[in-house]
Amino acid sequence: METKNHTNLKEFILWGLTDDPKLQIMFFAAGLLIYIVTLTGNLIIIILIKIDQHLHIPMYFLLSNLSCTEICYITTTMPKMLWDLLSETKSISFTGCFLQMYFFLTTAATEGALLSVMAYDRYAAICQPLRYTLLMSQPLCQCLVTCSWAIGNLNAITNTAFVFSLNFCSSNIIVHFFCDIPPLLRLSCSDISLAKLVTFIISGSIMVTTVSFIVLSYFFIVSAVLKIQTTQGKIKTFSTCASHLTVVSLFYSTAIFTYMRPSSGHSVEQDCLISLMYTVLTPLLNPLIYSFRNKEMQAAFLNVLGKK
């Protein structure tokens, strides 16, 4: 087979989730349902926060931005995956693959940064209630959201540039359902040590920084909660953080497992399963467990429906 590299390669072939026609139909139906539910749920959150004056506070401003990020996040991979499940060619252009990886890495890192900002918001609300409006002023919230997107873009442009500077020889088949770093590194015939090092340093630094920020915020939150005299008070205070912790745990555990584990531990099946979890389940769970369990969100939803 003729050797190909990034200068003349015009397209990649995405292997997908399965080559079984029956399973493809099942995956398509399930994926389409998840995509519709995810878009609907996150759009409802954005609309409710926009129209309900009671939700015009920092916590919900950050939540609406998280929902917007989730929509962008799942849209970078899901439509193409659904199309490939019904298509015979499953091809993606070189430029399309580049852009898919760029936007996926941007939204993924942005979401991680936003989750750390939301942890800081909970710290300010619980540990510094009298200074909350000062610590979470509107200009500061806007600045933190902007910085989150800047971090996402830095992560994406650096990693994508290094990965696509590699040579891709002999085969153009990506054994995955979207253009991600691990499968493309496996496909390359270049020395990938520098690209792996850059990925580890950039992505690892962002993960360590954001996770450390979350852990530090919750350290102070737990310390404050333990000082509350009544058990009911402790449960009520910490319950405001439960949904956030659930989303954080799912997002970071899958991301760390995928990008930070040794290359010798990678298998195609594991990569696809883990990638499916953090590309599909995390955006789906945001409206289901983070917002609709929130009493203020429920009240806003009922008010829109005209129920008092």
* Strands 11-14, 91-93: pairing kind: antiparallel
> Nearest-CA neighbor of 287 among 119, 118, 54, 63?
63
Per-residue pLDDT of 132-147, as tens digits, reads 999 999 999 999 999 9
Alpha-carbon gap, residue 54 to 300, rounded angstroms? 8
pLDDT score recorded for residue 292: 62
Contact 170, 203 (CB under 8 A): no
Alpha-carbon gap, residue 266 to 258, rounded angstroms? 8
Domains of the chain, by residue range, sit at 11-262+275-305
Per-residue pLDDT of 59-106, as tens digits, reads 999 999 999 999 999 999 999 999 999 888 889 999 999 999 999 999
Average pLDDT over residues 219-223: 91
Instruction: Select, from the ranges 10-14, 214-218, 296-300, the one with the highest average predicted confidence (pLDDT).
Output: 214-218
pLDDT score recorded for residue 307: 58
Average pLDDT over residues 33-61: 92
Alpha-carbon gap, residue 118 to 241, rounded angstroms? 10
Q: Which amino acid is at 299?
A: A
Geometric angle at alpha carbon 245, from 242 and 248, rounded to 5°: 155
Per-residue tokens: 231: 């058990």
In angstroms, what CA-CA distances link 219 with 151, 168, 214, 274, 278? Answer: 24, 46, 9, 28, 26
Q: Which of the 8 DSSP states describes residue 261?
A: S
Residues ≥6 apart with Cβ < 8 Å to 80 = 14, 92, 100, 178
> HSE (CB half, 13 Å, CA atoms) of 186?
15
What rounded mean pLDDT belongs to the chain?
86
- Type and span of the H or E element at 173: strand 173-174
Task: Give pTM, 2 decimals.
Answer: 0.89
Q: Which of the 8 DSSP states describes residue 228?
A: -
What is the second-level CATH architecture of the domain 11-262+275-305?
A: Up-down Bundle (1.20)
Per-residue pLDDT of 236-295, as tens digits, reads 777 778 778 888 888 887 777 766 666 555 566 666 777 787 788 888 888 877 666 677
pLDDT score recorded for residue 6: 47
Give me the percent of the chain exceeding a pLDDT of 90. Answer: 46
In angstroms, what CA-CA distances link 101 with 3, 63, 149, 190? Answer: 24, 25, 16, 19
Contact 159, 199 (CB under 8 A): yes
pLDDT score recorded for residue 4: 47
pLDDT score recorded for residue 1: 40
Chain-centre distance of CA 53, in angstroms? 28
